[in-house]
Amino acid sequence: MSRADRLLDLIQVLRQHRRPVAGAVLAEELGVSLRTVYRDIESLRAQGADIAGEAGLGYMLRPGFLLPPLMFSEEEIDALVLGSRWVSERADGMLGVAARNVLAKIGAVLPDGLKANVDASGLLIGPGEPIAARDGDLVAIRQAIRSEHKLLIGYADEHDRLTDRMIWPIALAFYDRVRVLVAWCELRDGYRHFRIDRIRTIRSDAARYPDRRARLLKAWHALQGVPEQ
């Protein structure tokens, strides 16, 4: 493992701990000596990392430290390229543009050796079937999720019967052939999954829903038996 990769791993381990963590614990998680941990912490501090603590008391990374781009590993660059390409092909137009902008920004600041990995990546997204969904609907849904506002939708079931639903949108899932909105439905008094292609009308409501989205999403994860991401 290169020194740059080791420093990156140390930063990632520190970020996983919200309280001071002993140097011995860091050494065990990283598979290095305690002396190496102490030396690497001083190196990161010299690069601007705000790491509080000292030997015998533990260490904690304060928020705000950004990793320099050159510390991206080749695998991480592959992950960024693949994820950005998937979003540019499968998400709505605004997210697609944002994904392409992300790749351009990453490529602009990487060293030449790593920049070539972005430009000539062999990780491709295969063609998929067109998904029937209006970009405007997806933008409105994403905005409602971020702002924790209700949505009033006209929703058609598998028999094309239409009902009006006041919902609390909490998550949007992108599958290869369909997009699904996870929401609390006031009409059904429970969590429901709405296929985006069956939403006939959509209107943002000025009212915020009465609970925090993070708490609602956690409860949904528990009901579904889905691990939190």
Band of the pLDDT at 140, cuts 50, 70, 90? very high
Q: What average pLDDT does range 98-109 have in this prediction?
A: 81
Report the C-alpha gap between 59 and 38 in whole angstroms: 10
Q: Please report the pLDDT score of residue 50 as a whole number.
A: 85
> What single DSSP character describes residue 209?
P
Q: Please report the pLDDT score of residue 1 as a whole number.
A: 64
Q: What average pLDDT does range 92-100 have in this prediction?
A: 86
Residues above pLDDT 70, as percent of the chain: 89
Report the C-alpha gap between 41 and 169 in whole angstroms: 42
Q: What average pLDDT does range 107-118 have in this prediction?
A: 74
Parallel, antiparallel, or unpaired: how do β-strands 149-156 and 58-61 relate?
unpaired
Q: Please report the pLDDT score of residue 32 as a whole number.
A: 92
Q: Please report the pLDDT score of residue 19 as a whole number.
A: 86
Report the C-alpha gap between 183 and 170 in whole angstroms: 5
Residue type, 38: Y
**pLDDT tens-digit profile of 32-59?**
999 999 999 998 888 778 889 888 889 9
Q: Please report the pLDDT score of residue 71 as a whole number.
A: 60
Report the C-alpha gap between 221 and 166 in whole angstroms: 21
Q: What is the DSSP string of 142-206?
A: HHHHHHTEEEEEEEE-TT--EEEEEEEEEEEEE-SS-EEEEEEETTTTEEEEEEGGGEEEEEEEE
Band of the pLDDT at 131, cuts 50, 70, 90? low
pLDDT for 67 beyond 60: no
pTM of the predicted structure, to 2 decimals: 0.64
Residues forming beta bridges with residue 174, ordered by sequence position: 179
- Positive or negative, the CA dihedral 195, 196, 199, 200 is negative
Q: How far apart are the first and last CA of the chain?
A: 28
Average pLDDT across the chain, whole number: 86
C-alpha angle 78-84-90 in degrees, rounded to nearest 5? 130
**pLDDT tens-digit profile of 174-198?**
888 889 999 999 999 999 999 999 9
H helix intervals, the chain: 3-16, 23-30, 34-46, 74-90, 93-109, 112-119, 135-147, 213-224
Report the C-alpha gap between 33 and 41 in whole angstroms: 13
